[in-house]
């Protein structure tokens, strides 16, 4: 699975201005609702917040991968934001986050959801990828960086 299978270029935001984790999740839920008709902002936000109560999705090094399952979806969908300023996210390393990849999946998409999470995690654990993303304010450039095939990211 490549990230280009789950995220579209119009689902990337650069320089998103938010001041809290709650506001960040609200913005991402609204972005999803704006881009995908089957996503409703309120239920999406509720599902994201419920998932966060199980344990924060901040994986460290300034990266978070909030995710939730929504019954109305028929595929895994991704959305990405590079924040203008990092926000507290209760990450495992205690650092605030500035790179956020939200994943939404159908309720029954067990293996597919896990593969998507693993792919996003592998991509955003690469310090070179994160450095490239942090060095640009261009959403199209960020999309290109995110969706480069894994082999070229390692080069």
**C-alpha distance from residue 7 to each of 12, 13, 38, 55, 92 (Å):** 8, 12, 16, 24, 25
Q: Is 102 helix (H, G, I), strand (E, B) or coil?
A: strand
Residue 105 near residue 70 (C-beta atoms within 8 A): yes
Q: Which of 13, 67, 69, 119 is catalytic?
A: 67
CA 155 to the chain's CA centroid: 24
* Residue 67 among the catalytic residues: yes
The residues annotated with a catalytic role in the active site are: 67
């Amino acid at each position: 699975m490549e990230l280009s299978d789950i995220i579209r270029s119009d689902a990337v935001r650069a320089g998103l201005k938010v001041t809290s984790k709650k506001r960040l999740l609200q913005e991402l839920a609204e972005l999803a609702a704006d881009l995908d008709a089957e996503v409703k902002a309120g239920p999406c936000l509720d599902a994201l917040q419920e998932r966060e109560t199980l344990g924060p999705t901040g994986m460290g090094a300034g990266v978070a991968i909030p995710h939730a399952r929504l019954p109305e979806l028929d595929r895994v969908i991704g959305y990405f934001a590079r924040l203008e300023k990092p926000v507290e996210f209760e990450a495992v390393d205690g650092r605030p986050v500035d790179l956020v990849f939200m994943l939404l999946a159908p309720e029954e998409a067990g293996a597919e959801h896990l593969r998507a999470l693993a792919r996003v995690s592998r991509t955003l654990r690469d310090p070179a990828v994160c450095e490239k993303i942090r060095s640009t304010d261009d959403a199209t450039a960020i999309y290109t960086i995110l969706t480069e095939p894994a082999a070229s990211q390692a080069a």
